[in-house]
Amino acid sequence: MAGPGPKGPGLVRRLGVILAVVALVAPSVAHARGNPQIAGLQVALRAHGLYLAQIDGIAGPRTAAAVHAFQRRHGLRVGVADARTRVALGPLGRPLFGSRTLRRGDFGWDVSVLQFLLTRRGLYAGALDGYMGKETTAALRRYQRSMHLAADAVVGPRTLTAIVRHDSVPVRTRPITPAAGSALYVVRSGDSLTAIARSHGTSIARIAALNHLNTARPIIIGQRLKVPAVIRETLSAQSGVVPSILDAWSGKLGVDRHLVRALAWMESGYQTTIVSPAGAVGVLQTLPSTREYVETVLRGGPIPQTVAGDVEVALLYLKHLLDVFHGDEALALAGWYQGERAVREHGPYKVTRPFVANVLALRTRM
């Protein structure tokens, strides 16, 4: 049921204008739990294989390093994640959250931000993939009900205003400029100087010197610390690992890589650690029964339970479905979603068709 909602049409208009031009606020003004606009940037960078850390909305050194790597790769000026950088990021690089009304079927940066916010509230447990599908709209309805708004699954002026007011979405126009030699870190529950230093590839003494700390005194949750912008070598060594693995197996098995990327993005958002309630695992969310079938029937031997192994299992099964359905990608995807036998006997179910359409539509963007 629609509630009274925030009053004042002027506020809504001002929010629309401000958010339409907002880039990324500086870390120093972001909420202690992170800046949701940065979560959109992190999802876009992950799609390019350049950001493999947690999607947390924190403009730390890993995010800055991924931005700079992307800019160098595309011949852009290295620095802030400006409009040119966001355009180069592709469909996930725009539009910024708040610059349009969001509805089911939309795809982009702003949807990633919405998913991040809904996840942070415990209302969404799906992939952060920038696609406004069934799970995202259902979670949005739950949010709207909790705010006494019309549960229409649309981010219009009233819902947008509620999100900006209650979920700490920064609306300042100053963009992120990664510091020349340092970045900001907000102390969280369970942190210690030792753990922070280790995670940023530096020493306690260096952090203490940057922040004029007495190492004998404890750090406090919410405290802002400067940390050296040193990125551990493992990040650059792993850059692009998921897209690279997907592309390698696509080429090896003769499956269109754009189709594979779209399917992987729809299933997990390129996340390697998601486990569904049904037990599906990995980037392509394969079930244990699928792995058993592939290993015993299609492959004739065990496949390592690694990221690459999970991709191999999934693509061997996808290749099998494409062969079974004579190259018909729509039927193969339907078989992937509801099972080969069910498609043979009944055709694609009604609930299957949106999934197939979504993957095929996303394929042209990957």
pLDDT in tens, 75-105: 998 888 888 899 899 889 988 888 888 999 8
Report for 120-129, 203-212, 270-279, 324-333: range of highest mean pLDDT: 324-333
**Range name among 40-49, 217-226, 327-336 with the lowest pLDDT average:** 217-226
Structure confidence by residue, pLDDT tens digits, 344-357: 999 999 888 888 88
Q: What percent of the chain has pLDDT over 70?
A: 79
pLDDT at 113 over 90: yes
User: Rounded distance, CA 309 to CA 40, Å?
Assistant: 29
362 against 298, higher pLDDT: 298
Dihedral, CA of residue 239, residue 271, residue 153 and residue 120, to nearest 10: -90
Q: Which candidate, 313, 360, 15, 316, places its Cα nearest to that of 170?
A: 15
CA angle centred on 62, ends 57 and 124, rounded to 5°:
30
The token duo for 261 is 């990327």
The token duo for 212 is 């004029």
Measured CA to CA in angstroms, residue 212 lies from 112, 119, 341, 343 at distances of 37, 36, 66, 66
Q: What is the pLDDT of residue 313?
A: 94
User: Rounded distance, CA 119 to CA 115, Å?
Assistant: 6
For residue 45, the tally of other CB atoms under 10 A from its CB is 26
Domains of the chain, each with CATH number or no CATH: 9-166 (1.10.101.10), 182-234 (3.10.350.10), 240-363 (1.10.530.10)
Q: What is the pLDDT of residue 183?
A: 64
pLDDT at 135 over 90: yes
Beta strand residue intervals within 275-358, DSSP E: none
Q: How far is CA 303 from the centre of its chain?
A: 28
Q: Which candidate, 140, 156, 174, 169, places its Cα nearest to that of 57?
A: 169
Structure confidence by residue, pLDDT tens digits, 148-207: 888 999 998 888 878 887 876 754 433 333 344 556 677 777 778 887 776 665 678 878
In SS3 terms, 60-126 reads as CHHHHHHHHHHHHHCCCCCCCCCHHHHHHCCHHHCCCCCCCCECCCCECHHHHHHHHHHHHCCCCCC
Half-sphere exposure of 236 (CA within 13 A, CB side): 10
Cα end-to-end span (Å), the chain: 39
**Range name among 31-40, 78-87, 232-241, 315-324 with the lowest pLDDT average:** 232-241
Q: What is the pLDDT of residue 13?
A: 33
Q: Which candidate, 71, 62, 83, places its Cα nearest to that of 20?
A: 83
Q: What is the pLDDT of residue 198?
A: 65
User: Rounded distance, CA 205 to CA 215, Å?
Assistant: 8
Structure confidence by residue, pLDDT tens digits, 255-268: 999 999 989 888 88
Beta bridge partners of 228: 182
